[in-house]
Amino acid sequence: MRNFTRLQYFTAVAEAGTITAAAERLNITKAVVSKQLQLLEAELGTALVIRNSRHLKLTERGAAFYESARAALIQIEEAYRGAQQGNEVPAGELRVTAPLDFGIAFVAETAAVFSRRYPQVAVDLNFTDSRLDPVENRFDLAFRVGWLRDSTNIARKLADFEQFLVASPELMDGREAPAEPNDLLALPFITNRALGGGDRWTFRHESRPAQDVALLSTIRVDVTMGVNACVKAGGGFAIMPDLLVKDALRDGSLIRLLPDYTLRRGGIFAVFPPTPFRSAATRQFLQLMENHLRTVLKDAAAST
């Protein structure tokens, strides 16, 4: 018979960072936590943590076991709740990370709707253009915008987006609108490092051969909000996801260049730790997010 209490002690140690902090969190003695951790390692036949008097770090096997143990404990907890309430009600903590602009524009609103609907869930949002690994940083759900890198994590595509060339009316005032991709070389270009596209782009047209153009970058920005601000201030044109510029195109604060040409399509992805179980909170949050994205993308298509 497996001792599942030891899983609880181990996950507490992994999350708290020290045996002392885990003992305080569990409201038991440090000696009990230390002993149960030793028994768990003996049962598994492998070291789960490397520890000295001041520090504690998970081993590679310990990190992998933590993800499985945490998922198992969540599943057990929700099984109890389901039996008690007759259905699966999200509860506990939900940790989500997303790119800065996408998080502010879309994830924050979804989190507000989710929180009103499920107040028993504590939602922890982390918005950054650094691609934080959900396993290493202990996120239940990570959103990615653009193109995925190779990973052992599990990914699910939620939607596609187009990339538009956009500029401010002030930049184009007195200039002739570009008719083909090479005409862009006469304009300053703002590189969006958050998208990862760089300066070389392939332009496609339904009736002409594809053209590769190395754009002349005058400003490089690592967050899309910064790119947007530079473009609106007339610093140059940029390549932006359609869903992030739909309102500006509609109100005229930005204009689209070369609308007859298309660029490589990108994707919006949900990324999970490589475990088969998803908490009810994760599943419900993702469902709300998908519904929100469908509405936004439909609106973006209508505005262009």
Q: How confident is the model at residue 40 (pLDDT cuts 50, 70, 90)?
A: confident
Out of 112-116, 196-200, 235-239, 247-251, least confident range: 196-200
213 close to 184: Cβ distance less than 8 angstroms: yes
C-alpha pair distances (Å), 119 with each of 102, 207, 225, 287, 288: 23, 54, 30, 17, 15
pLDDT over 80 (residue 140): yes
**Phi, psi values for residue 248, rounded to 5°:** -65, -35
pLDDT of residue 81: 61
| Sign, CA torsion 24/124/275/17 | negative
Predicted confidence at residue 288, as pLDDT, reads 94
Residue-range domain boundaries for the chain: 4-85, 92-158+274-303, 163-264
- pLDDT at 56 (0 to 100): 79
CATH domain 92-158+274-303 topology:
D-Maltodextrin-Binding Protein; domain 2 (3.40.190)
Whether pLDDT at 76 is above 80: no
Check residue 277 and give its pLDDT: 72
**Alpha carbon distances (Å) from 199 to 29, 38, 136, 191, 238:** 58, 54, 31, 7, 10
Based on its alpha-carbon atoms, the radius of gyration of the chain, rounded to whole angstroms, reads 24
> DSSP label at 262?
B
What's the rounded mean pLDDT across residues 139-148? 89
Given a cut of 90, whether residue 122 has pLDDT beyond it is yes
**Separate counts of helices (H) and strands (E) for the chain:** 10, 14
pLDDT(89) > 80:
no
pLDDT at 299 over 70: no
Over residues 102-126, the mean pLDDT reads: 94
The amino acid occupying position 73 is L
| pLDDT given for residue 304 in this prediction | 54
pTM here is 0.66
Beta strands in 99-236 (DSSP E): 121-127, 141-146, 154-161, 163-167, 189-192, 200-205, 208-214, 217-221
Which pLDDT score, from 0 to 100, does residue 303 have? 55
Residue pLDDT, tens place only, 221-273? 988 889 999 999 999 999 998 888 988 999 999 999 999 999 988 899 999 98
Same fold, 92-158+274-303 and 163-264: yes
Averaged pLDDT for residues 281-286: 93
Q: Is the pLDDT of residue 93 over 80?
A: yes
Q: How far is Cα 145 from Cα 98, in angstroms, rounded to an integer?
A: 8
Comparing C-alpha atoms, which of 9, 6, 15, 224 is closest to residue 138?
Answer: 15
| Low-confidence winner among 152-166, 207-221, 254-268, 273-287 (lowest mean pLDDT) | 273-287
Classified by CATH at the fold level, domain 163-264 comes out as D-Maltodextrin-Binding Protein; domain 2 (3.40.190)
List Cα–Cα distances, 175 to 31, 34, 167, 203, 215, in angstroms.
75, 72, 12, 21, 18
**In the chain, % of residues over pLDDT 70:** 90
Conformation bin of residue 65: beta by default, left when phi > 0, alpha when psi is -120 to 50: alpha
CATH class given for the domain over 4-85: mainly alpha
Q: Which of 239, 274, 265 is nearest to 145 (CA)?
A: 265
Q: Return the pLDDT at 84.
A: 52
| Cα 212 from Cα 56, distance rounded (Å) | 51
Mean pLDDT of the chain: 86
Contacts of 146 (CB under 8 A, 6+ apart): 194, 195, 196, 266, 267
**How long, in residues, is the chain?**
304
The reported pLDDT for the residue numbered 189 is 96
Q: Is the pLDDT of residue 86 over 50?
A: no
In the chain, the percentage of residues whose pLDDT exceeds 90 is 42
List beta partners, residue 240. Answer: 164
Burial of 132: CB neighbours in 10 Å, binned 0-12, 13-18, 19+: middle
Mean pLDDT across 191-206: 83
Q: Which among 14-18, 197-201, 222-226, 267-271 has the top mean pLDDT? A: 267-271
Sheet holding 237-241, edge to edge: 217-221, 189-192, 237-241, 163-167, 255-257
What pLDDT is stored for residue 2 in this prediction?
A: 64
| Angstrom distance (rounded) from CA 133 to CA 138 | 8
